[in-house]
Amino acid sequence: MMWDDNLSSPRDTFVTHLECSMTGERYKADRLHGLSRAGWPLLVRYDLGGVRRVLTPQALSLRPMDLWRYRELLPVRDSRNIATLGETATPVVALPAAGKRLGLDTLLVKDEGRLPTGSFKARGLCMAVSMAKELGVTKIAMPTNGNAGAALAAYGSRAGIETVVLCPEDTPEINVREIAARGARVYRVNGLIDECGKIVAEGAEAGEWFDLSTLKEPYRIEGKKTMGIELAEQLGWEVPDVIFYPTGGGTGLIGMWKAFAELESLGFIARKRPRMVAVQAEGCAPIVKAFEQGEEHAPRWEGAHTVAAGIRVPKAIGDFLILRAVRESGGFAMAVSDAELRASVDEAVRVDGLLLCPEGGATLAACRKALEQGLIRSSDRVVLFNCATGLKYPMSDQSRHLDRHAPVDHSAL
C-alpha cells in the first residue's frame, strides 16, 4: 500500500454527466468541455444514490486526512492521473480574543494557507489539472491575480502539462516570481484580470491551449467544494450558522453550496444550511452592488482597485451562481474598505497570533460590520475563510535598532 491509500486504492467513481448551470442541458462526462453551448459554467453531477451505498462517515474516518479522501464525490476516475502535492485537511482555528472583542461566542477561521501552494487555489487547481491530464490536455493557460497562477504552475509541473499564466502588471511581485519558479511562463499584462482572461480566451479559440480560467471548465468547483465537505466533517457533520467568504470569481462559495446539497442527499448533514456571506472590497464590489439592487447578474466594475488582489475581479462569469447561493441561504453580500481589512489583519495577528491574508482580513472586517448592523447574532457560530497564508504579503517593518556597543537599558526593551 502507498503511504496514502486515498491516492492509490481503487475506488468507485460516480460521475454521471455534466449540466449547464443556467439551462440544465446535459453533457457527456469523460470528454473535454469548457463552457456550455449557451456560454455558461458546467456543473458535475453524480449518482448520489450509488455514493450513498458505499460511502459513510465511518468509512471516511478511517482514511488519511486529505482532500482525496472524498474521491467518490470527485471527478477523477483513474488515480494515476491525480496531480498531488499533499493537499492536507486545513485546520479550523478559533479566534477567542478577536471573538471576545466583537462579542461573538464562537469565531472560527478555516485556514487555507496551510495548503501546498499557500492558498485555497490548490484545491481547485489540483482537481482541474488532474482532469486535464485525464482528458489528454497538454497545454493550459489562465489569467490570475497571483495565487491561482502559482497553483496552476505547481500542478501543471507535477502533471507534466505546459502552462502559460497572464497576470495584471501590478500583481504582487512575490506572486509573479512564484509562478515562474513553479514552472510556468508568466506574462505581466497592462490590464485587469478579466482583460488578461480575454487574451487567454483568444488563444484558446485559436487552438493554442486549453482555457483553465475560473468556471470556464467544470472541475475547479469540484476541488473547491471540498472546503465545505471538510468543514462539515470537522464540525461533526454539522454546518456553522454563518460563513464569511472572500469573493472574487466565487468558485469556492459556489462549490461549498453545491457540497452542502450533496451532503444532505447522502444523509451526512441535516437540512440546515449556513448563511453564506460574499465579502468584497469597496474598490471592487460588483456582487455587493448586484445583491443590493436585486439583480441576477453583476455588470463589470469599472476602475477596480484594492490591496486584496484575490478579490479584485471586476466581472465574474459565475455571478448568478454566487448571488443564487447567497440568496437561497438567507445570507448577504458586504463590502469593506482597504483600511478596515488591513486593521483586521493587524488585530487578528496581534491578539490571536493568526496572520491572515488581506482577503481573510476582509472577512473579519465584514463580520464586525455585520454584527454592528444586526445582520448576525452574538450567539451565531461563525466561520471566516482565510484563503491564503499571510506570509505571501508585504508586512510593515516595526523593528527598532539596538546598538550592542552602547549601554543597554534592558528594562526599556
Among candidates 386, 351, 198, 192, which has minimal Cα distance to 279? 386
| CB neighbour list of residue 87: distance below 8 Å, 6 or more residues apart | 66, 67, 68, 115, 116, 122, 123, 126
Per-residue DSSP letters for 344-397?
Answer: HHHHHHHHH---B-HHHHHHHHHHHHHHHTTSS-TTSEEEEEE-BBGGGS----
pLDDT surpasses 80 at 31: yes
Question: What are the tens digits of pLDDT across the range 82-104?
Answer: 999 999 999 999 999 999 999 99
Among candidates 12, 111, 115, 122, which has minimal Cα distance to 59? 12
Among candidates 22, 27, 72, 21, which has minimal Cα distance to 47? 72
Give yes or no: residues 196 and 300 share one domain.
no
Give yes or no: residues 357 and 244 share one domain.
yes
Give yes or no: residues 344 and 264 share one domain.
yes
Give yes or no: residues 58 and 96 share one domain.
no
Residue 74, CB half-sphere, CA atoms under 13 Å: how many? 29
Give yes or no: residues 143 and 268 share one domain.
no
User: What is the pLDDT averaged over residues 295-319?
Assistant: 94
Q: Are strands 210-211 and 242-246 parallel, antiparallel or unpaired?
A: unpaired
**All 3 cell numbers of residue 37?**
453551448
pLDDT surpasses 90 at 396: no
Tell whether 217 is covered by a domain.
no
Mean pLDDT score across all residues of the chain: 96
Instruction: Give how far Cα 297 sits from Cα of 294, 300, 319, 325, Å.
Output: 9, 10, 6, 13
Question: What are the tens digits of pLDDT across the range 271-303?
Answer: 999 999 999 999 999 999 999 999 999 999 999
| 386 strand-pairing partners | 111
User: What is the pLDDT averaged over residues 170-180?
Assistant: 93
- Cα–Cα distance, 78 to 135 (Å, whole number): 11
CATH number at residue 170: 3.40.50.1100
Tell whether 172 is covered by a domain.
yes
Q: How many CB atoms lie within 10 A of CB 33?
A: 16
Give yes or no: residues 141 and 105 share one domain.
no
Domain final residue pick, 157, 178, 211: 211
Tell whether 144 is covered by a domain.
yes
- Cα–Cα distance, 289 to 334 (Å, whole number): 9
Range of the domain at 64: 15-84+119-211
Give yes or no: residues 172 and 309 share one domain.
no
| CB neighbour list of residue 396: distance below 8 Å, 6 or more residues apart | none
Give yes or no: residues 125 and 246 share one domain.
no
- Cα–Cα distance, 77 to 151 (Å, whole number): 22
Report yes or no: 87 and 122 within 8 Å, Cβ to Cβ: yes
* Identity of residue 77: R
Tell whether 404 is covered by a domain.
no
Tell whether 357 is covered by a domain.
yes
Q: How many domains does the chain have?
A: 2
Tell whether 337 is covered by a domain.
yes
Question: What are the tens digits of pLDDT across the range 211-242?
Answer: 999 999 999 999 999 999 999 999 999 999 99
The pLDDT confidence band at residue 80, using thresholds 50, 70 and 90, is very high
Residue with cell 469597496: 282
**What is the predicted pLDDT for the residue at 2?**
56
Give yes or no: residues 293 and 352 share one domain.
yes
Instruction: Give how far Cα 114 sits from Cα of 18, 110, 149, 283, 361, Å.
Output: 31, 10, 17, 28, 16
Give yes or no: residues 32 and 136 share one domain.
yes
Cα 111 to its chain centre, rounded Å, is: 11
Give yes or no: residues 154 and 110 share one domain.
no
Domain final residue pick, 159, 189, 211: 211
Among candidates 374, 307, 381, 371, which has minimal Cα distance to 345? 307
Tell whether 286 is covered by a domain.
yes
Tell whether 219 is covered by a domain.
no
**What is the predicted pLDDT for the residue at 1?**
43
Give yes or no: residues 255 and 359 share one domain.
yes
The pLDDT confidence band at residue 26, using thresholds 50, 70 and 90, is very high
pLDDT surpasses 50 at 356: yes
